[in-house]
Amino acid sequence: MKASAKKTDISAPQLTSLSWADQIKAWLPGLGLTGLLAAMALGIGHLSHSVGIKLLNPLLVAVLLGIAVRQTLPLPAVYRPGIQLAMKRILRLAVILLGLRLSMAEILAVGPVGLIIITSSTVGTFYLTTWLGKRLSVNPKLTRLIAAGTSICGASAIVATNAVVDGSEEDMTYAIATITGFGTLAMVSYPLIAGLGQLSPETFGLWCGASIHEVAQVIATAFQHSTASGDIATVAKLSRVLLIVPILLGLGWQARGSQSVGSTPKTLPIPWFVLLFAGLVLLNSLQIFPTALKTAVAQVNQVLLCMALAAMGLETYLSKLVNLGLKPLLLAGLSWLFLSITSLILIQSIT
């Protein structure tokens, strides 16, 4: 019995001692499962959009499907290596490939005033959220995930940040759920506020890009107002995404500085995948990649992100999620309100 357990429950150290062929064999079951769940999530997302329901983000669906499988079906240990691979290495690869969505020309098109507004509101929201998290006694790692998801770019920022802060699967799932929920609320409320406040297309577009969580949510909200709003919002949002680089670098160094005296120092205090993401942005700015290639990579990357988040769901236990309580939800709500109100005031005051 003990021998058979060792064969099925392969840990990370054991995997590294295997040949490449044996490692691939160990990964296949888990990768197959996460790939299946990713395909289902993308299919549900596409179907919902085709019938006019734009609130089902495939990334959120992937997490929920993973959770559903974990709670209802037995998950043999043979799946663990592939699930762990999707949660870590595939996740980092997906974050790197997000760099193909950005170029320096797009960022500079926002203009100096727009960049000042986006940077100040994003950084201010991140640090206010971490401060509020301490006051509310929320788990520091979960606080940072909520701070990154609110201030930068929703689920993508959460999964990237988790690769640095190493939060639990429950922290990741809770953060994504709260961020998706408040981003959805923004999609409904922003057009109503724009009508009541008679916001110009430029003001509304910049506000959406500077304060709504997900890229897809920004686009869906801003284009409800006008094409001009949608174009401005898209560029503003992509500019905001790039702020993930300095924030994650700061978290990486902070993690190193918080080590106890006498402990073994971390060999990679810098999240190298973030630097690779920034490097890909710079390469993309040179316009050396054909549009067809970038489109194909974006489609593949959506699958990779869904696989990573499905893996997170497969490692999540609802009982632990419930134990996190309502304080993180309150934190996410206050953080979103601060970003929304602050960014709108800055836009109307400066522009």
Copy the structure tokens of residue 214. 């997900």
Residue labelled with tokens 């986006």: 118
Q: How many other C-beta atoms are found inside a 10 Å radius of the C-beta of residue 277?
A: 24
Cα-to-chain-centroid distance, residue 34: 18
Which residue intervals of 136-214 are DSSP H helices? 140-148, 154-165, 169-197, 201-211
53 C-beta neighbours (distance < 10 Å), count: 10
| pTM beyond cutoff 0.85 | no
φ, ψ at 253 (rounded to 5°): -70, -35
Largest distance between two CA atoms of the chain? 71
Give the pLDDT score at 54.
Answer: 60
What local confidence, expressed as pLDDT, does residue 41 receive? 92
d(CA 175, CA 180): 8
Q: What is the CA radius of gyration of the chain?
A: 20
What is the CA angle 126-128-133, rounded to 5?
A: 95
* Residue-level pLDDT at 271: 58
210 contacts 118 by C-beta, under 8 angstroms:
yes
State the pLDDT at residue 122: 92
Question: Token match 């500085």: residue?
Answer: 257
Terminal C-alpha separation, the chain: 70
Burial of 188 per CB tally in 10 Å (0-12, 13-18, 19+) = exposed
- The CA distance from 219 to 229, in Å, is 9
Cβ distance 219 to 186 under 8 Å?
no
- Which amino acid appears at position 107 of this protein? I
Closest listed residue to residue 237, CA positions, set 274, 209, 260: 209
- Nearest alpha-carbon partner for 229 in 125, 347, 105: 347
- What span, in angstroms and rounded, lies between the C-alpha atoms of 324 and 306? 24
- Provide block-wise average pLDDT over 10 residues at a time, the chain (351 residues): 40 59 88 95 84 69 87 88 87 82 78 90 94 94 93 83 82 84 84 88 92 80 80 83 83 64 47 77 90 92 88 76 82 94 92 68
**pLDDT computed for residue 131 by the predictor:** 96
The domain ranges of the chain are 18-259+268-350
